[in-house]
Chain A
Amino acid sequence: MSRTVAVVGASLAGLSAARALREQSYDGRIVLIGDEVHPPYDRPPLSKEFLAGSASLDDILLGAPDDADLDLEWRLQTTAIGLDHLSRSVLLADGSEVRADGVVLATGARARLLPGSEGLGGVHVLRCLDDANALRADLATAERLVVIGGGFIGAEVASTARTLGLEVTVVESQPVPLAGPLGAEMGTVCAELHAAHGTRLLTGTGVAGLVGTDRVEAVELTDGTRLPADVVVVGIGAAPNIEWLARSGVALGNGVLTDARGATNIPGVVAVGDCAATWSVAAERHVRIEHWANALEQPATAVATLLGTGAPAPTPVPYFWSDQYGARIQFAGSRRQGDDVRVLEGSCADHSFLVVYERDGQPVAVLAMNQPRLFTRWRRQLRTAVPAGS
């Protein structure tokens, strides 16, 4: 058995990996390396309760009372800058290194920036706690918010800002927001929440640039429209934090490439969470999943791979949720273009429904709004219906 495992990344995936190591009876040293100053915290509330001010840092910390028993060696506020695959050493920005027998890569992803927005005051992304604190402070004195990107982060920030009394405009470059994850039909249904709660949604419109010298004053669209803005939030996706591995010999693509069980091409090195592009048997390609549930569940499999305990790899059913404008949206499964959509319960107009996506007559995904009980049953059903992985 290994003597030292280094877990690089101290958010949900990294902490879950550390917990999984102990659950799977690993009794060696665990070093948990994180570049933030904060102990692990939950990110989903950053665009919702935490941003609104109804949840504190204490409320969203992930650490549990039992975690003291994990006997972890914390290296917070420490950035990993490289990995020597021969000695399996993690090189740190302070010049030191952690020599390990096993390495879990869990460095997550970072928000994509809008080119040309650097250094302009009032322009925010939302990924980490410091982002949320800065945005919260800025929203407190703002009247007009423009959100660039109509995805889940953008929609949740818009929703929170409406509750704070701001005038909000969401700009989405695609004809329909959320068409990627939900399909155009259901993306349209979910996007109706914006108008129903006083948010202006502009679709099919690109952003030409931001106007302002020291601080943003407006967002200029490709059609020439100028949207006055006190604050701008850019929610245009995330990129995996893998550059630090460029010379490590670890195979990289859109994330750290792993097999279905989390193994990279380097023995003793596994990858989990938002930074990992994991082989999907169902999709027959590497898939990088940025969902919270994946960061929670995936590490157990990768840790079993690392320890060589060979537990069967479950095929997790992708799951995510979003809370916007008081509506709870939940999705599970894998949707593809061309899947049929069938409403099984409620109605889209009432913002309370459950729809099933079907392919060749078989359910492959499920989407619900304000139907948590029924959704949970369907999510379970999908879990057992999907054949086990390799």
Chain B
Amino acid sequence: MIPVCPTTALPPGEATRIEADEPIAVFNVDGDFYAIDDTCTHQDASLADGWLDGCAVECPLHASCFDLRTGKVSGPPAKTPVRTHRVLVQDGMVYVLRGHAEDGAA
């Protein structure tokens, strides 16, 4: 379980990146938290730097869109989905469980 930040540090509409060999992006969508692989599957860009539009994030480089709930591509040019990771909120802290896929919508 990776501690990310206090919930207050990640307000709605914001994203943060967990630095690692395979970084993870964590998003707050109107109070619901989502985590996906941070690196766009199209070309090297950080999705945490992207634009959040509902439950989709648009890559800052080429505008590929990914569904935060499923990791699926919702807009080209990306072809491959990103992995999703489960998010836990405990005592005002956000945690990510790496490698545990989210079961649909949180």
Contact = CB atoms under 8 A, between A and B. Distances in A.
B101 to A, nearest CB: 19
Q: Which of A62, A372, A380 has the most CB of B within 10 A?
A: A372
Interface residues of B, number: 16
B11 interface: no
A62 B77 contact: yes
B70 to A, nearest CB: 14
B46 interface: yes
Chain A interface residue count: which class?
20 to 34
A64 B77 CA distance: 8
Given A64-B73, A376-B49, A376-B51, A296 B79 contact: no
A375 interface: yes
Q: Which of B46, B48, B50, B76 has the most CB of A within 10 A?
A: B76
A293 interface: yes
Contacts of A296: 62-63, 76-77
B61 interface: yes
B60 A373 contact: yes
B45 interface: yes
Given A64-B73, A296-B63, A373 B79 contact: no
Nearest to A55: B43
Q: Which of B48, B58, B61, B73 has the most CB of A within 10 A?
A: B61
Contact of A376 (B60, B76, B77, B79): B60
17 contacts: A12-B77, A16-B76, A19-B76, A42-B77, A49-B43, A65-B79, A292-B62, A293-B62, A293-B63, A296-B76, A372-B45, A372-B49, A373-B46, A373-B50, A373-B60, A375-B60, A377-B51
Given A12-B77, A64-B76, A296-B62, 18 more contacts: A42-B77, A45-B43, A62-B77, A64-B73, A65-B79, A293-B62, A293-B63, A296-B76, A321-B61, A328-B61, A330-B60, A372-B60, A372-B61, A373-B46, A373-B60, A376-B50, A376-B60, A377-B51
